[in-house]
């Protein structure tokens, strides 16, 4: 059962279990997401891609992400990305030593020398990344 409550920011809805939410326009959602991503990037010194992954896994609750990160960042990485940080670091080190990707996992271009590597250990050719 959904009950409707008027709100100045949009329709406020409350579900029977007590969880409430506000209906927002797509542009407002995008602005809110960008704001939360920037907040995490500045607070936790992480990339926007990592911030977005953390937020997606934690229902866009930035307070929950910050608390989890400060409590145990490795556990948060594992939970959010199913990632082992030691393996990611090893993968990035090997990639830097080779100086090239064997292939881009997005477009399958062979022998990529112009690539972007991410904190999670993945890498893409620059064209696919942008």
Instruction: Tell me the per-residue pLDDT of 66-100, one tens digit each, with 9 for 90 and over.
Output: 999 999 988 888 888 776 666 666 776 777 777 77
Residue 68 sits in the same domain as residue 91: no
* Structural domain span for residue 95: 86-129
Q: Give pLDDT, residue 6.
A: 46
Residue 34 sits in the same domain as residue 98: no
Residue 46 sits in the same domain as residue 105: no
Q: Give pLDDT, residue 8.
A: 45
Residue 69 sits in the same domain as residue 118: no
pLDDT in tens, 1-59: 344 444 444 556 666 666 677 788 999 999 999 999 999 999 999 888 889 989 998 98
Residue 77 sits in the same domain as residue 93: no
Candidates 68, 20, 75, 21; CA nearest to 40 is 68
Q: To which residue do tokens 């406020």 refer? A: 12
pTM, 2 dp = 0.56
Specify the DSSP element, H or E, that contains 115. Answer: strand 115-117
Binned at pLDDT 50, 70 and 90, residue 62 comes out as very high
Quote the CA–CA distance of 42 and 24 in Å, as a whole number.
Answer: 25
Q: Give pLDDT, residue 4.
A: 45
Residue 73 sits in the same domain as residue 107: no
CATH number at 36 reads: 1.10.8
Residue 13 sits in the same domain as residue 54: yes
Residue 18 sits in the same domain as residue 56: yes
How many distinct structural domains can be found in the chain? 2
């Amino acid at each position: 059962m959904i009950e409707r409550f008027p709100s100045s920011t949009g329709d406020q809805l409350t579900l029977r279990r007590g969880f409430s939410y506000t209906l927002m326009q797509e542009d407002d959602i995008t602005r809110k997401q960008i704001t939360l991503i920037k907040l995490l990037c500045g607070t936790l010194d992480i990339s926007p891609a990592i911030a977005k992954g953390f937020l997606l896994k934690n229902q866009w609750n930035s307070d929950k992400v910050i608390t989890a990160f400060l409590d145990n960042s490795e556990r948060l990485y594992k939970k959010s990305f199913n990632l082992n940080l030691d393996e990611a670091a090893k993968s990035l080190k090997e990639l830097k030593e080779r100086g090239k990707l064997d292939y881009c996992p997005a477009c399958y271009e062979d022998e990529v020398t112009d690539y972007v590597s991410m904190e999670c250990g993945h890498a893409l050719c620059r064209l696919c990344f942008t």
